[in-house]
Amino acid sequence: MAQIHGFPAIADNNARILILGTMPGKASLHAGQYYANERNAFWGIIAALYGVPASAPYGERGATLRTAGIALWDVLRSCRRESSLDADIVAESIVPNDIAGFLFDHPAVRCVYFNGSTAESLYRKYVWQQLGAQSRRLPHVRLPSTSPAHACMRPAAKLRHWSVIKDAA
């Protein structure tokens, strides 16, 4: 099983919120795009909140995030994982992203949101100790996973929870 590597952040210097996933799934890695699995609710939620069609070109969707003050990244830079499931991540293979450095370089970020509980728990385990006092004081909010594996919550309920990002940005 080979080490897989995530993507650079979608961000600019105006980012006011940071959304962190865990690690792109197989469809995303193959496409070279965040949340490329068409069953993942992320881009549908962004479409509902910001008006960019989920079917719009990837660059346009990324530009919409940047315009809205949203940065998008993952907690993990690389890991080994057989499937797309977070539960299959091999703990000994985890290499976190430099989120402390990101937050230092993006001082306008005022809230960190997690796309699901695994992103939050990996952040707490691998990133929290690297953060400066100011970054630790930021609100950190777990949102329901947009993954199709988190099917116990209906899309409308996910959208209600995720609507907090629009007010925060």
Token match 């979608």: residue?
A: 10
Identified catalytic residue from 13, 14, 37, 40: 40
Would residue 13 show up in a list of annotated catalytic residues for this protein? no
CA distance 158 to 145: 8
Strands, sheet with 76-80, edge to edge from the N-terminal-most edge strand: 3-5, 76-80, 95-96
Three-state SS sequence of the chain: CCEEECCCCECCCCCCEEEEECCCCHHHHHHCCCCCCCCCCHHHHHHHHHCCCCCCCHHHHHHHHHHCCEEEEECEEEEEECCCCHHHECHHHCEECCHHHHHHHCCCCCEEEEECHHHHHHHHHHCHHHCCHHHHHCCEEEECCCCCCCCCCCHHHHHHHHCHHHHHC
Query: Annotated catalytic sites, by residue?
Result: 40
